[in-house]
Structure 1
């Protein structure tokens, strides 16, 4: 009864049966491609085992860091940092590289950096320099500045942003945007006998 009904349906509307057959075939192909892509991605992951990049601030110093009564921050900050690619089979291209300097969550410095490439297990030294003047907002920020100035050290954050491209063999694919954050506590300019700078490990996320 059911088979006869399907045959009658196909005889009455052959285009409907053809459309159903094509749709079923396309679905099967699509599912097969998704499964193959998933298996391939899993195999590549276990072969290459990509690891998070690492970053360290090796040294940093404030030559100038003063706040005027009008809340204008005059600053001169130099930073030396190392970015490392720990992957054994994956190369990394860093594009649109920019370094930022922040105080109390407010950006006061910006330094564009040249794009660069890191081979497998390679390290790159970067030396962003921030200098100029920037108005800071908020009475709390000014109060915290005076407190930290009296204590002889300022809490500054240096960030590094870059768009990654991943190189596997001869293939290059667009990667995520890397964000690196480095919280620093730096002696106030002119501080007597400032402590030696200890390298700071940065936080990295994508």
Structure 2
């Protein structure tokens, strides 16, 4: 009875049956493609096992860090950062590399760095230099500056941002934007109390 009804329906409206058939075929193709992509992604992960990049600030020094009465910050900060690619089969291109320096969440320094390529299990050292003058906003920042100056060290945050491209064999694929954040405690200029900078690991975000 049901088969006869469908046959009659198709005879009465062949276009409807054709549309249903095409829709069913497209759904089958789409599901198959999703399964294939999922399997390939799993195989890619099991073969290459991509790992998160890592970064460490090896050294940081303040040659100048002075706050004028008008809250203008005069600064001269040098930083050495080692970025590591722990992957054994994946190379990384770092494009649009920029470095920022912040005090109390206010940016006072900005440096554009050269792009670079990092082969498998390679490390690259980048050394941004920040110097200039920048106004700080708010009385709280001025008070925090004086307090940290008395303690003989400043809490400075250095960030490194880059657009990644991933290289697998001869293939290059556009990757995410890497954001590296490094909270630092840097000895104040002219500190004679024996304070030294300790290498600091950074946090990496995508």
TM-score bracket, normalised by the shorter chain, equals over 0.9
Post-superposition shift, 1:173? 0.6
Counterpart residue number, 2:166: 166
Counterpart residue number, 2:117: 117
Q: Is the 8 A contact 1:94 1:163 kept in 2?
A: yes
**Residues 57-97 of structure 1: CA deviation (Å, up to 9, x unaligned):** 11110001011111110000000110000000000000010
Q: Is the 8 A contact 1:187 1:194 kept in 2?
A: no
Counterpart residue number, 1:87: 87
- Superposed, 1:55-134 pairs within 5 Å as 55-134=55-134
**Residues 38-66 of structure 1: CA deviation (Å, up to 9, x unaligned):** 01001100110000001011111000101
**Residues 138-185 of structure 1: CA deviation (Å, up to 9, x unaligned):** 111111001001111100000000000000111111111101011111
Counterpart residue number, 1:191: 191
Q: Is the 8 A contact 2:158 2:184 kept in 1?
A: yes
Post-superposition shift, 1:198? 1.8
Q: Using the alignment, how far apart are the partners of 1:87 and 1:10 within structure 2?
A: 58
TM-score, normalising length: structure 1: 0.98
Q: Secondary structure at the match of 2:146?
A: helix
Post-superposition shift, 1:199? 1.0
Post-superposition shift, 1:193? 4.3
Post-superposition shift, 1:128? 0.2
Q: Secondary structure at the match of 1:178?
A: strand
- Aligned-residue Cα RMSD (Å) equals 0.8
Q: Is the 8 A contact 1:57 1:79 kept in 2?
A: yes
Aligned length: 206
Q: Is the 8 A contact 2:187 2:196 kept in 1?
A: no
Counterpart residue number, 1:204: 204
Q: Using the alignment, how far apart are the partners of 1:139 and 1:5 within structure 2?
A: 83
Q: Secondary structure at the match of 1:31?
A: helix
Counterpart residue number, 1:149: 149
Q: Using the alignment, how far apart are the partners of 2:62 and 2:34 within structure 1?
A: 54
